[in-house]
Structure 1
Amino acid sequence: MKNFKICLLIILLINMSSCQAQTNSTKTIQEVKENNYRKLTDEEARVIIHKGTEYPFTGEYNTFKDQGVFHCKQCNTPLFSSKDKFNSGSGWPSFDDIIGNNVSEIPDSDGSRTEIVCATCGGHLGHVFRGEGFTDKNTRHCVNSISLQFESSDQSPRDTAVFASGCFWGTEYHLQRLEGVIDTKPGYIGGHVKNPSYQQVCSGNTGHAEAVRVIFNPNIVTYEEIAKLYFETHDPTQIDRQGPDIGTQYRSEIFYSNDMQKKIANDLIKKLEAKGLKVATKLTVASTFWVAEDYHQDYYIKTGKQPYCHKYTKRF
């Protein structure tokens, strides 16, 4: 009888806890409605209201480099500045500071971590960690991209370049590290099939090249500087291959968007030829660029590996 009473008490406590959790969740949703906050999608609500977590390396802002302010997705309160953002390699956006007192810290339900929420609406953001030594402030606010909404303050000019030099993982690895490069996207260009898949391109029947689209600030880094690094991080003498990767999709090719880019690329090729290189790199006017599948984006950042067929060789 004594054991029965203990079991009954435990069941009662669990039910009370469950009801309380449901009440809190309902209350949060009710508060959202009463305060006329932004209506969330099911996935946004899973993270922001129900304290879920998006998968690492999948968030929109993980490697995002634009200048501006990150606001709460639910209530639009400014939370983080791009100047405080850094790459921790964790797979989630990281910030070492907050804006004002707009982010609150509360003990996490797991009993060990510290949760961070929007101080205005209570929306779940992620967690804060200290003592890791990533920055001088020694603080990492690890945030779900889906909890944020970005507003740009960057009025600087932008330009676009597209380069193909074998496997786009290695091409992106080197070009995205240049200061002044805002964004890089591996993808497919130069073929006749609309929005091809990786498998289609690998068949060699679509005519596409694996390439990387680079968005950059020309006031910080010039097209010529990017093109030089491009030539110095692959073998431009190889035809329809790069290292162990063989096929027309692995060709060396520059897709220019204007006459200036074409002239700069052509002048660099002439300089290399003057040094005795038989350059196979083609120059082609840019056509539609199809962004590759998510698992190809920032591949070496995600995996922590190094390029297997792209290495730096001083040529200029």
Structure 2
Amino acid sequence: MEPLTPRERRVIEEKGTEAPYTGRYYLHREAGTYVCRRCGAPLYRSEDKFDAGCGWPSFDDEIPGAVRRTPDADGLRTEIVCARCDAHLGHVFTGERFTPKNTRHCVNSLSLGFVPAAGAEPEVAAGECGAAAGTGIASERNAAAGGPAILSDRSDSSVPSDGSAVSGEPDRTGDVSDRSADSVRAGEPDAAVKTETAIFAGGCFWGVEYMLASQPGVLDAEAGYTGGRTEHPTYEEVCGHRTGHAEAVRVTFDPAQVSYEELARLFFEIHDPTQAGRQGPDVGPQYRSEIFYTSPEQRKTAVRLIAELRARGYRVVTRVTPAGSFWPAEAYHQDYYERRGTQPYCHVYTKRF
């Protein structure tokens, strides 16, 4: 087996949890066998997989002897691990009546590998997050449901001088080469891969970075500052409202695996695009909702998605502006939740499309 990526280690060895609705196997329906990502032991058969609507792969049975159960320290949930190597898989629940077997193994995609059945047709899956069923789930409900717990060119002719034409303010306007998708989104770029860049601001960059980095096809997600006038800004300067910058995330992605539109849709579903100058408990202009496009195509996509959301009744305030200089944030802001082994409290997935 290939060495574990940092994100896989956080889940498999440190008993972490990937964000709901983001795992590569959540909506996976190809016939075959799901195996342990660390040791390769067969764990689950595809015929035992079902959609529980919880945001993680669910199975109502395991291959006999493949999975071991251990009560959590809090006594509230039962952890499941690979019987061969003790890799953390997730949790198991009973009595929910999803299937006749009345059992649900809720498993992290990062804990799994997949071996297609002989003669099976490869699955061509739609973007998992954009197609996922279900509604937003706060972090507490995730656990209860079984959760494995560029200078700015403001004179761009496509943007009016007041910057509001594409503003969202109410009443105004698989695999790369021979590597797994998990290793790709863990920030291990391959020189042979053609990449693109996207920049999103949607509140505290800790949560935005975490959620976008979990998307298959994302090579890297970096927290930083953009949209303002100060060069080399510090966190304190941005918080002091002296720079004009927003907390943002620069995403490097493989367009062969995930499209810009899929990422933009996910962006609109992991923060509240109807909140102006804030996001949840975080208040200030640095927490504004804004998309910084790097090409005319990206701008068209963003404007179209905002129009679609407005047609659905959302009073979107997200601004769409050309990308300028992006200043990476301090080291202690990078991979914040991954390093802490926790999940965002301001950003949860909410289906809007």
TM range (shorter): 0.5 to 0.7
- Alignment partner of 1:133 out of 87, 91, 102: 87
Structure-1 residue corresponding to 2:151:
none
Contact kept in structure 1, 2:230 and 2:243, CA below 8 Å: yes
Summarize the alignment of residues 76-87 of structure 1 with structure 2, pairs less than 5 Å apart: 83-86=2-5, 87=8
- Alpha-carbon distance, 1:152 to partner: 6.7
For residues 253-281 of structure 1, give each alpha carbon's deviation from its aligned partner in whole angstroms, at most 9, with x where no partner exists: 00000100000000000000001111100
Residue equivalent to 1:224: 261
Which residue number in structure 2 is paired with residue 108 of structure 1? none
In structure 2, distance between residues paired with 1:212 and 1:240: 17
CA contact 2:188–2:219 (8 Å) conserved in 1: no
Query: Is residue 272 of structure 1 aligned with residue 309 of structure 2?
Result: yes
Other-structure match for 1:165:
202
Residue by residue over 1:7-44, the C-alpha shift from the partner in whole angstroms, topping out at 9 and shown as x without a partner, is: xxxxxxxxxxxxxxxxxxxxxxxxxxxxxxxxxxxxxx
Give the Cα separation in 1 of the matches to 2:190 and 2:300.
33
Aligned match of 1:240:
277
Q: 1:153 to 1:187 in 2, by over 3 A?
A: closer
Pair 1:178 & 2:97 matched: no
Residue 192 (structure 2) pairs with residue 155 (structure 1): yes
1:236 to 1:84, Cα distance in 2 relative to 1, 3 A: same
Q: Where do 4+ consecutive residues of structure 1 move more than 6 Å?
A: none
8 Å Cα contact 2:244-2:286 kept in structure 1: yes
> What letter is aligned with 1:228?
R
Kept in 1: contact 2:188–2:220 (CA 8 A): no
1:304 positional shift: 1.7
TM-score w.r.t. length of structure 1: 0.56
Q: Does 2:323 match 1:286?
A: yes
Q: Does 1:88 align with 2:9?
A: yes
Q: Which of 204, 225, 243 is matched with 2:241 structurally?
A: 204
- The Cα offsets for residues 111-130 of structure 1, whole Å up to 9 and x where unpaired, read as xxxxxxxxxxxxxxxxxxx9
Change (3 A) 1:273 1:157: same
Distance 1:167 1:136 in 2: 30
Answer 1 or 2: which has greater helix percent.
Answer: 1
Contact kept, 8 Å, 2:38 with 2:87, in 1: the verdict is no
Matched residues in 2 for 1:227 and 1:158: separation?
A: 16
- Return the match for 1:254 from 280, 291, 313: 291
Higher relative contact order (CA 8 A, sep 6+): 2
Per the alignment, do residues 136 and 255 of structure 1 end up closer, same or farther by CA in structure 2, a change over 3 Å counting?
closer
Identity of aligned residues (%): 51
Shift of 1:85: 3.0
SS in 2 for 1:191: coil
C-alpha distance after superposition, 1:160-214 (max 9, x if no partner)? 0000000001111111110000000000001111111101100011000000000
Corresponding residue of 1:300: 337
Structure 2 unaligned regions, length at least 5: 15-36, 40-83, 89-110, 114-186
Relative to the length of structure 2, the TM-score reads 0.50
Instruction: Return 215-224 or 304-313, whichever deviates more.
Output: 304-313
Aligned residues: 188
| CA distance in structure 1 between the aligned counterparts of 2:337 and 2:268, rounded to whole angstroms | 20
SS in structure 1 at match of 2:258: coil
Greater C-alpha radius of gyration: 1
Per-residue displacement from partner, 1:53-108 (whole Å, max 9, x unpaired)?
Answer: xxxxxxxxxxxxxxxxxxxxxxxxxxxx9x433331279xxx969xxxxxxxxxxx
Distance 1:96 1:211, change over 3 A: same
Residue 264 of structure 2 aligns to a residue in which SS?
helix
Change (3 A) 1:241 1:85: same
Counterparts of 1:304 and 1:234, CA distance in 2: 21
Q: Which residue of 1 aligns with 2:70?
A: none
Contiguous gaps of at least 5 residues in structure 1: 1-80, 98-129, 138-149
5 Å-filtered alignment, 1:14-93, equals: 83-86=2-5, 87-89=8-10
The aligned amino acid for 1:88 is R
Q: Who is 1:213 aligned against?
A: 250
CA RMSD of aligned residues (A): 2.5
